[in-house]
Each structure stands twice: as structure tokens, then as C-alpha cells.
Amino acid sequence: MAVAELSSRAALTPYTQTRTGLSNSSSQLSYSSSCHLSLRLRRSFRPLRQIISPITCSVNQVEARVAEETKEQSTDKSECFGVFCQTYDLFAEEETKKWKKLINIAVSGAAGMISNHLLFKLASGEVFGPDQPIALKLMGSERSLQALEGVAMELEDSLYPLLREVSIGINPYEVFQDAEWALLIGAKPRGPGVERADLLDINGQIFAEQGKALNSVASRNVKVIVVGNPCNTNALICLKNAPNIPAKNFHALTRLDENRAKCQLALKAGVFYDKVSNMTIWGNHSTTQVPDFLNAKINGLPVKDVITDHKWLEEEFTEKIQKRGGDLIKKWGRSSAASTAVSIADAMKSLVNPTPEGDWFSSGVYTKGNPYGISEDLVFSMPCRSKGDGDYELVKDVIFDDYLLKKIAKTEAELVAEKRCVAHLTGEGIAFCDLPEDTMLPGEM
């Protein structure tokens, strides 16, 4: 006999989200951005039309009687979207033999260009594999909510079998609920006349609030990747506001810088990218970052043995990686989006897959207990290895020379200064800004 269950929410209060700008009236034409009821199908079934009335889904025009509500109430709620309001119990034998437990992934700035590339990589199974269903929890702003609906519509139309749920919202306490991964992409870009110190404060407040929300409602072992710039200090602010989540779980994205460095070394050596390994980006995601050619390898050999033009390595190569983002903006007219999305996917894959023997990857992580003598209590890009369980360990078998140590000291001093700028957001007292120089990040203007 067929069994169909209405969710308690859908059974009691069918949800219809109205477009911004419509007046509150007892009866009006609205656009529905979610199904009117949620179904859970069991193995034994008969046609649904014999059990229930038709479902109204996605962005169809419907006549709806809308209760009067405040603007905050109508936009602050995270809700399932369209076809994703229908959830299905997989057959028991399928669940045992093939499918894994659903992973909840929260993404902020989900209506932006980076997310527009990343979300489809996640939904396709590229990151977690072909047998891993996922739920996407997408967060935007009140201003971008309509665009967020458009993103969800495209995900609907793409028919990804692994994408089991999509929800959208603007409140981090709703969107981050039970999140096992949080990809924090959204941040305010730097406009004309805005000092870097001001940007640290403006974006820092965003990430302080998001840290509090993660601390309150996310999984206790949530993995957090901070992309919004200045990402190192934003990650520090976020983790300081989430004391119930291990500080080790927070990452600042420096994988794009690593990928760029591998590309330039491969071009210089006349080899393909996959021949370059052990590439480390040290420090801040800024123009003080340090692409480490001392420990990197090409075809298993030290880079300095393969590329004997050491002046090129110390000057042109290093500067090219530090300023690559700015050079791209000059050509493209905007900051990188697709390559950033690729690097986020790469960073995630490095944590959910074992690191190849002898190799490592770069990530901005918490410095407490680091073996390199770098100041404690920063988020600093360093070489990491993973067993594929989402965790990592810092690599101990690295070497240093005077050139590398001097470069690392400069980026370290910048991050220490940034930390003083945001002391009021990390619970460490009154902020004091004395940034050594304005190392503007590409794309901040």
C-alpha cells in the first residue's frame, strides 16, 4: 500500500514567498519559490495523484491568499526551494550498497560570480564523489534574494541526481543550521576612498556574526573555508567568535595562489602542471604572500635544481604570483571567479582525499602549536597534509633559508598588524591599526 507523508510544516502552513515590493493584501498574485508541500516517499507506493492533490512548485504564478506579515518575517526565513521541497527515502538496499549520508553545505555570497561556478561543481559530485548526495544551503542578502532564486532555478534545471535539497535565505542562523561545511564567500569589496583598515572592520563585522551563527547552529565539527577578503584575518575573526568549534577547522583560501604558482613554475620548466608538487604559499593572502620555491619540486627534483635562474625565482616569479590577481583584472575587467571556484573545490578535495605520498598542499590555518616558530594566534598559510578525513596536519619536513625566512617575517608582521586592527572583533580589547603598508588585495577596488 502506498504511503505518503506530509511534513508537519507543509501540512500546517504551506509556504509561499512573495516578491519584494508587492503590497500586503488579503489576495494577490505571487511567485512561489518553494513547493506547497513536502513529500517523503516510501518503497511501496501507488501513483501520487491517487493520494494527494497536485503540487504547486518552483516559480509558477499562483493565486495565493497571503497573511499580513512584516518584511523581516517574509525574507528572513531559510526555506526549501522548488523541486527540492520533495525529499525521497532511498530504497534500503540502495542506501546500503551505494549512497552515503547526506552532507549539508552552507554557502554565503551564493548569488555571486564565484558561487555561480562553484555550486555546479559541488552538485555534480566533483568534490565529494559520485555516491555522495548533498544539500546546499544558500545565503545571500535581502538585496540579492531574487538573484538567489535564479541560482536555485538553474540548479533545479540542471537535474543533478546527487543534489537532494536546496534552501535559500538571508539569516545565517537559519542557513547554517546543521552545516557540515561552510564556504564563506560573501564579503564587501573595497570601494574608492576606503582604507584597508576600514575594510578589515567592515568585513570583520560580517564574519564575527557568521562565526557566532556557526557556533550556535552548525555541526560541532563543521569545516569552514573563508574566501571573502581579507580572508586570513576574516577567518581569525570567525573562529574567535565560534569557541565551540575547533579552531583547527577554519581555513583561509590560499589554494588559488598555490595553483597560480604551480602554473608559472610549469611554464618556466616546460612541463605540465602535474609535474609540480610540494608547493607552499606562506602567510597572508595579500601582496606579501610567499610562494615557496625552495621546498617545491618538479618531477621530484628541487625547483632550484630544475630552474637554475634563481634571480627569476626570487624576483619575477615571486612578484608575478603576488600580483597575478591584479594582472587578471587588467585583462578581464573583473576579479577572478571561475579559477577561484576551482581552487575552493581543490581545497575541499585536499581535505576529503588522502594527500599523495610525499606531497602537501597550502591552506591558511590556525598557527597555535605550529612547528615553524610563526607567531601564535594567527591564521597563516602553511603546508598541510590530510588523511582524507577532513582534518589535516602541518608538514614538519620543510627547509628554510635566509631569503625564505625574511619573506615569511614580512607577511607575518602584516598579519600581526591586521590582528591588532580587529581586536574589538576577536574579544581582545581595543583595536589599534598600524598596518606597515597598504598591501591592497587584487579586486578590492
The angle that helices 113-124 and 338-352 make with each other, rounded to 10 degrees, is 40
Alpha carbon distance 210, 216 (integer Å)? 10
Q: Which candidate in 36, 251, 285, 310 is catalytic?
A: 285
Name the region of 363 (left: φ>0; alpha: ψ -120 to 50; beta: rest): beta
Backbone angles phi, psi at 105, to 5 degrees: -120, 120
Residues constituting the chain = 445
Q: CB 332: neighbour CB atoms within 10 A?
A: 10
Q: CB 197: neighbour CB atoms within 10 A?
A: 17
CB 262 within 8 A of CB 362: no
* Residue 285 appears among annotated catalytic residues: yes
What single string gives the DSSP state of each residue in 253-291? --HHHHHHHHHHHHHHHT--GGGEE--EEEB-SSTT-EE
Residue 82 DSSP class: B
**What residues are labeled active site?**
285
